[in-house]
Structures are given as C-alpha cells and as structure tokens.
Structure 1
Amino acid sequence: MRRFWKDVAIVDGGIALDGKPVRTPGRLPLVLPTPQLAQAVADEWRAVADTIDPRAMPLTGLANAAIERVAPDPARFAAGLAAYADSDLLYYRAEAPEPLVERQRAAWDPLLDWARTRYDVHFETVAGVMHRAQPPATLARLGDAVAALDPFRLAAMSPLVTVSGSLVAALALLEGAADADRVWHAAQVDEAWQVEMWGDDDLAVTTRTAHRADFDAGARFLTLL
C-alpha cells in the first residue's frame, strides 16, 4: 500500500492518519496501552516514505499481533510459549570441545541460576540433544509466570522466546535480570562457534540478521510497556 496520508497523530491511545484511526489488518482498533508505545508506533507511520514495508514497522506488527492473535485467547498463546520450558536451549550442553563447553557454561549457567532463585525451580541439564523431561513443578511455575502476562507482553515475548529458543532467557530479559545483548549472545553461542570453526555464508548471515531484527523489536516493545 502506498502512503496516502500527510499527518500522523495520537488520539486516545490510537494512531490517526489525517484524522482517521488506524486499524489492524483484521479491522480492530489499533489502540496502544502506553503513551511511549503509541509514540513509537506513530513514529513508524511517520517514517513511511512511498510504500508501507511491514519489516520496517515491527512495533506496529507486534501491536497488531497483541490485539488480533493474543488478546482473543491469552491463555492459549501463553501455553504455546510456556511449552519451551520443557526443551529450553539452556538445558542441552555440548560434551566437547572444552572451549565450547566453557562458553555454554559461562553464558547459560547464570541465567539458569537466576531462574532457580526467582521461581524456586530445579532444572535437568544434559550433555547432548536427547530430550530430558523437566520436573512438573518447574513447568508449572514457569508456565504460571508466562500466563500472568498481558497480551502486549505476550506478543513481545513471542520473538524473544522463538528466536532464542529459551524461555528462561526471555524471562530474564522481561524481568530486567539480563539485557537484550546478553540474551542474544547467549542464544548465539552454538552458532557463533560453528561460524568460527567452518565460516559463514550469505544465507546464514541474512537469516541471522532477520532474526536479530525480530528479537530487537520484541525487546524494545517490552521497554515501551
């Protein structure tokens, strides 16, 4: 769609283009829960040049998702994210080489230690990639933490969890126990090792760049709530 508007304004928590309210793709009102998020979304609309590029408007996209995909059934959406608690990236460790083992330990153990204290849970870590079930109490408590979130925070958590592969790391970011760069680099330990060993390629770089953009959008969205 080409740009047709001149003025972008914030009206009653929503975005108005030349006085007309913006709606989600499903025609629901695009109303934001905080003034700072409304301002950031409005800035995305102001920045549109000739044609709308959804990739250049990630905050608008997350707001649309919160309203259309999450809000109708938050419990179901939360359950999908909570499922990562049973197969979190941080549980599965390399057996060798020792430098990779140490990198995983340095990046991942502090996040697990934080979660143990914060949620009073126990984790089963394992060398290798074979699934190991986590204690039911751990799954229940982490699930409760996710279920307590509102639709906008759930929408923000989605790229953080799915891109990183770690619910624990995403919760640490949500609660301010780790910043976005720390969580991103923790999620990239294995991939960074592979790049060091075997080199990179154009497709991997493109994919990683797109994933980082999605991850950063989720992290920024949280700061605006």
Structure 2
Amino acid sequence: MSEWKAKRFWKEATVVEDQGGFGIRLDGRPVKTPAKAALVVPSRPLAEAIAREWDAQDELIRPETMPNTRSANAAIDKVHHQHAEVADMLAAYGDADLLCYRADSPDSLVQRQAEAWDPMLNWAKARFGAQLVPVAGVMHRPQNAKALALFSAHVHAMDDFTLTAFHDLVGLSGSLVLGLAALEDARPATELWDLSRIDERWQEEQWGADEEARAVEAVKREEFLHAKRFGDLTKAA
C-alpha cells in the first residue's frame, strides 16, 4: 500500500492581521497548527516567510521544506504550553556550558579553547552581569548560583517564539552563552557555530575527518542557522 501524502489544494497563500499578530490564509482559509490552533505569529516578516513556504509547495506538500512553519507550530503547540519547563531546561545549560569545560592538555588545544571561548564568557559577563568560570577536565563543577539566576531570569523572560529559536541555538551548540550571543547578534551566527566546534576541528587535525560525522554536523549547522533566522524574523518589524 502506498503511503498517503497531503496534496496542495490552494492557489495562493496570503498574510492577514489576526488576533494581535499575523496569520496565514490559503485561498482565504486560515492555516492551523497540527494541534488545530490558529497559526498566528508575532511579526509580519515571519508570517510572510511562512506564506512563501506554502506558496513554494508543488503538488505534494513537503514539510521538510517548511522550516519556519515547523518552528512556528512548535512555538504554538509545544513551547507555549510548557514555557517554564523549557526555560528551566535551557537555563540549566549555564551550569555545564560547553565554553566552560576545557582540556588540560595538550597546550595547543588549551590555548585554542581559551582564545576562542574566553571572549564569549567575557561578553556574557558584560552583557548580563553573570560570570561563568572555566574549569579543566570533564567533571562537573557547579557555577555561581547568582550568575545562573541572572541567566535564568533572562531566559524565562523570552516570549514563546524567541524561546523556540533559543531552544535550538542552545541545544545544537551545547552552550547557553553561544545561544544568547546568537540572539543578541554578538557575532555572526556562522562564527558562533564554528566556536561550538573547536574540539571537533582539533580532533580532525589529529586523526582526519569522518565524512559521516561531517554530514551530520552539516545538518545541525543548517538547523542552527535556521534557528537564528527564525529568531530574527520573530523580532522583525
């Protein structure tokens, strides 16, 4: 038996003001999320990007080609109903941030990590007043509770759509600080992604590249860059 696939049934996707935000209409009919909620987003640019994804569909609907639609659905159907839990989970990355766990040898890797990651920790201290302290080795060492509380308050204050973007920025990079830096435009997103891969690049220099691992990383990199674009569209005027 062949698998059923949704087919395009509309001629045009349009954007309308709706419920204090912006909704998408397919030949005048409102788009719903998978949970049957209204697909209403906070900015017109984001709504227009979603409408373009719907307009770009051919005869068969391909959800994998609709990243903004998927992220908006996640914000409405999932993050909105679990905002505090999601914020707690992401804020907890501060207590085990990638940028804080350093090699104790060889000296070349120690230096590379310090040169790449210390400026980001300094940026976070200047921006949020919260200092995270690097440690050598992989054993967990708790960070200062006051610093973690400052980060947590900032994360909890994010709206549902920003928190959705932040979820992927942090989860994919392994760093609360890099996720915040992406949202705050502290550096280009491509540079921030590269900062999250310092250890991987060093390993490749020693042992050579693993093509399968590189392919997986390429997918994650594009998801990271999408999360940044989605966050930007959410805030766009």
Does TM, scored on the shorter chain, surpass 0.5?
yes
Q: How does 1:185-224 map to 2 (within 5 A)?
A: 185-224=194-233
> 1:17 corresponds to which letter in structure 2?
L
Q: Alpha-carbon deviation of 1:157?
A: 0.4
1:122 aligns with 2:131: yes
CA distance in 2, matches of 1:19, 1:90: 48
Equivalent residue for 2:14, pick from 6, 9, 19: 9
Partner SS, residue 79 of structure 1: helix
The answer for unaligned runs of 5 or more in structure 1 is: none
> 1:187 corresponds to which letter in structure 2?
S
TM-score norm. by structure 2 comes to 0.91
Q: Alpha-carbon deviation of 1:4?
A: 2.2
Root-mean-square deviation (CA, aligned residues, Å) is: 1.3
CA distance in 2, matches of 1:48, 1:193: 41
Equivalent residue for 2:147, pick from 138, 155, 173: 138
1:27 aligns with 2:56: no
Contact 2:121 2:131 (8 Å CA) reproduced: no
Partner SS, residue 73 of structure 1: helix
- Paired-residue identity, %: 47
Q: Alpha-carbon deviation of 1:206?
A: 2.2
Q: Alpha-carbon deviation of 1:197?
A: 1.9
> 1:26 corresponds to which letter in structure 2?
A
The answer for unaligned runs of 5 or more in structure 2 is: 1-5
Runs of 4+ in 1 over 4 A off after TM superposition: none
> 1:184 corresponds to which letter in structure 2?
W
Tell me the residue number matched to 1:160. Answer: 169
User: More displaced, 151-160 or 54-63?
Assistant: 54-63
Q: Alpha-carbon deviation of 1:202?
A: 3.4
Deviation per CA, 1:173-195, whole angstroms, max 9, x where unpaired?
Answer: 21222220121011011111122
TM-score norm. by structure 1 comes to 0.95
Q: Alpha-carbon deviation of 1:204?
A: 0.8
> 1:91 corresponds to which letter in structure 2?
C
> 1:143 corresponds to which letter in structure 2?
S
